[in-house]
Structure 1
Amino acid sequence: MKRLASVFLFLLLAALAFWGILRFARQQAEVKAEKLYPSEYVTVYTDMPSGMLEALGDTFYHDSGLKMNVVYQSKSQLLKSGSGSDSMPAADLYITSQDMLIRLKNEKMLSPYASAQTDTALNLFKDEECYWTGLWVDPVVFAVNEDYAKKHPAFAYNWNEVLGRSSLRLSMTDFIAADMAEDLLMCMAEHFGIEQTFSLLGKAQKHIVQYGKYLSTPSRMAGMGKCDIGISGLNEAIRSQKDKMPIVIMYPEDGSPWYLFGAGVSSDAAHPDRAQKLLNWLLTSSEYKEQMEENQYYYIYVNDFTKEPDSDGHSLDFWNLEKMYFDEGKKDLLTQWGEKIRFGGTNS
């Protein structure tokens, strides 16, 4: 038996060595081929999560012959990036949130571009002058604990009921904890008006069991039974479901606020044609949707509204928002909320 084990060990080590040699040879061949026939690149500047876009690189290369060169930056760095530097090429395409795209446009860092693909995106999700186009929408939904949903089959999942019913335990992300959470406050103020928004949030304050520090907190708390309903982005709610947490996703009957990610062609693009090719490809979600979901990104695609109604039969409906929120106005609204409700209300 010992001799047989030694033979198996030898064969295993030999196989591993052979695999290593083949891999090294393949890498060297790729390096050599790159030197002889340099690939064409499209350079993307983004503040999206690290690794998200690289996961799409092979599929995009297969479809287009272009490789993605992804440069990750913070929001402040994006605004200062300009035409690149000695160590980094200039951006061909920016992929970021809607508010950042609006800023990039105002700073003259984007060039207008329209195509058959951008034209089919709803006007709600693109710049009216074609400086940027939305790609992925993350609507706000209600992540409901399964037991609570079963015990309250007649519950009306609208904003007044969810925020105003004092008997249910509620969780939401603190408005100052993340950009998307802050955006929810701005969306509510635009949709309901500031006075009604503060009235609704004042009622909610009395039965919020916890303000989360992360976007994932509300849906996960609902899944763990620590609250009845979590106000959550759809992306995080689906992630919680995929983690086998017992939640039901309900769409607000009176419509959803939403957070938008999109893309714009850089005004300093060395290869605007390549940027346009990538933008059009990203607007064709069938090319890469499965890969996004494999990497746990469950957004709504602006050219692919295929979400089925929720278990109560309500379809996903988006609030009609302009989203022209200025820094001073956002700061003032957050300050008022903190003073009048967050730290001036019933709970802390």
Structure 2
Amino acid sequence: MKRMASVVLFLILAASAFLGILDFAHKQAAIKAERQNPSDYVTVYTDIPPGALELLNPVFFEESGIKLNVVYLSTDQLASETSKPDVAPCDIFISSQDSLNKLKENNRLQIFASARTDTALNLFKDEECYWTGIWVDPVIFAVNKDYSLKHPAFQFNWPEVLTIKSVRLSVTDFIAASMAEDLLMCMTEHFGIEETMWYLTEAQKHIVQYGKYLSTPSRMAAMGKCDIGISGFNEAVRTQKENMPLEIVFPEDGSPWYLYGAGISKDAQYPERGQLFLNWLLDSPQYKNLMEKNNFYYIYVNDLAMNGDNRGTTLNFWNLQKKYYDEGKKDLLNQWGEKIRFGGKESD
């Protein structure tokens, strides 16, 4: 009798487990089917790191009645015209300025202008209205607080920071990330090739470490392992939020910048939904607070008013066209790597 009870109990548990798995499979299939049917979605193709756009889904849905279908792709996949059969067609691309320019060149974007896009600075949008910038990540100086207190008269400009050998400096390796590579391109456009390479040759003499990650320079400065880190604003604020002793200083002679933006797909099934989402990104104050609560700290193109830093310096952006071609970027990186990074001193 006991054996029979055990068998019955086992069958009940097995049946329950099977029904649970079956129910889960049905739910997953329903979710997949729903995502493949874009009738209630705006489909976003993006190569930005996962996390930020999911935060916006409930807020955007509450205001618009439309959900976000976020499709994450690599930068190379984003540039490819081949879509996966189980993925809904793109309504709106969200990516870096460089990727958006390539999408425009490949005739994959359509012109879109509105009252919202019109208020973005010309510096941060395509002159023919194929894409509009959303978030700007300026390059700033992340300064160790003790160093700042001991050097109140220090002039935080690019020539001083890059050439004064007593300053222990950290910067992300230019080949480590697209934003770091972009910094080299920005400097070259702003200063010219010869002057940039001279500055970087001088900087090489007092760089204590090239970071492998964008967060490295600001964290090294906060820990006292360098005096000044050349960092993106977003990473520097993240370091500050960890209660680490770091001061963010805006360069007196202006900042390079990295731009994320959006463009409406030429093949969009629901272009009006992509347009609605783009306008919302340019105007909604709710999502800015939500992103900051989740450690995304960008400057918004339609909200550029900022207080100065602790030294009273305001944030000014370099006037850049940022039309960098792959071959030119490759040549500059090779020149820097061969003559400076691995030619100036032994590698880290």
Q: Which residue of 1 aligns with 2:272?
A: 273
Amino acid at match of 1:245: M
Q: Which residue of 2 aligns with 1:214?
A: 213
Partners of 2:253 and 2:194 in 1: CA distance = 18
Amino acid at match of 1:63: E
Gapped regions of structure 1 (runs ≥ 5):
1-23
Q: Deviations over 1:150-187 (max 9, x none)?
A: 00000000000000110010000000000000000000
- Quick one: structure 1 residues 286 and 122, their matched pair in 2 at CA, closer, same or farther if it must change by over 3 Å? same
Alignment of 1:204-243 (within 5 A): 204-243=203-242
Amino acid at match of 1:272: P
Deviation above 4 Å: which 4+ runs of structure 1?
none
Question: SS of the counterpart of 1:156?
Answer: coil
Question: SS of the counterpart of 1:143?
Answer: strand
Contact 1:60 1:67 in 2 (8 A): yes
Question: SS of the counterpart of 1:53?
Answer: helix
Q: Tell me by how many angstroms 1:287 deviates.
A: 2.9
Q: Tell me by how many angstroms 1:51 deviates.
A: 2.0
Amino acid at match of 2:343: G
Question: SS of the counterpart of 2:68?
Answer: strand
Amino acid at match of 1:100: S
Q: Deviations over 1:111-145 (max 9, x none)?
A: 01000000000000000000000000000000000
Amino acid at match of 1:71: V
Q: Which residue of 1 aligns with 2:107?
A: 108
Q: Which residue of 1 aligns with 2:147?
A: 148
Partners of 2:64 and 2:39 in 1: CA distance = 11
**Are residues 1:91 and 2:90 paired?**
yes
Amino acid at match of 1:335: N
Partners of 1:104 and 1:236 in 2: CA distance = 27
% same residue: 65
Partners of 1:245 and 1:206 in 2: CA distance = 27
Contact 1:285 1:301 in 2 (8 A): no
Amino acid at match of 1:56: L
Q: Tell me by how many angstroms 1:260 deviates.
A: 0.2
Q: Deviations over 1:258-293 (max 9, x none)?
A: 000000000000000000000000001413100110
* TM-score (structure 1 length as normaliser): 0.88
Q: Which residue of 1 aligns with 2:80?
A: 80
**Are residues 1:67 and 2:61 paired?**
no
Amino acid at match of 2:52: M
Q: Which residue of 2 aligns with 1:263?
A: 262
Q: Tell me by how many angstroms 1:81 deviates.
A: 4.2
Alignment of 1:98-137 (within 5 A): 98-137=97-136
Q: Which residue of 2 aligns with 1:172?
A: 171
Partners of 1:150 and 1:260 in 2: CA distance = 32
Q: Tell me by how many angstroms 1:49 deviates.
A: 1.2
Question: SS of the counterpart of 2:138?
Answer: strand
Partners of 1:106 and 1:241 in 2: CA distance = 39
Partners of 1:223 and 1:85 in 2: CA distance = 44
Partners of 2:221 and 2:250 in 1: CA distance = 15
Contact 1:42 1:68 in 2 (8 A): yes
Contact 1:281 1:287 in 2 (8 A): no
Partners of 1:165 and 1:198 in 2: CA distance = 16
**Are residues 1:46 and 2:25 paired?**
no
Q: Tell me by how many angstroms 1:86 deviates.
A: 2.4
Partners of 2:84 and 2:289 in 1: CA distance = 35
- Quick one: structure 1 residues 159 and 347, their matched pair in 2 at CA, closer, same or farther if it must change by over 3 Å? farther
Partners of 1:183 and 1:167 in 2: CA distance = 27
Amino acid at match of 1:238: V
Gapped regions of structure 2 (runs ≥ 5):
1-23
Q: CA RMSD in A?
A: 1.9
Partners of 2:276 and 2:146 in 1: CA distance = 47
Partners of 2:204 and 2:49 in 1: CA distance = 31
* TM-score (structure 2 length as normaliser): 0.88
Q: Which residue of 2 aligns with 1:305?
A: 304
Contact 1:44 1:95 in 2 (8 A): yes
Partners of 2:280 and 2:171 in 1: CA distance = 35
Contact 1:285 1:304 in 2 (8 A): no
Question: SS of the counterpart of 1:157?
Answer: coil
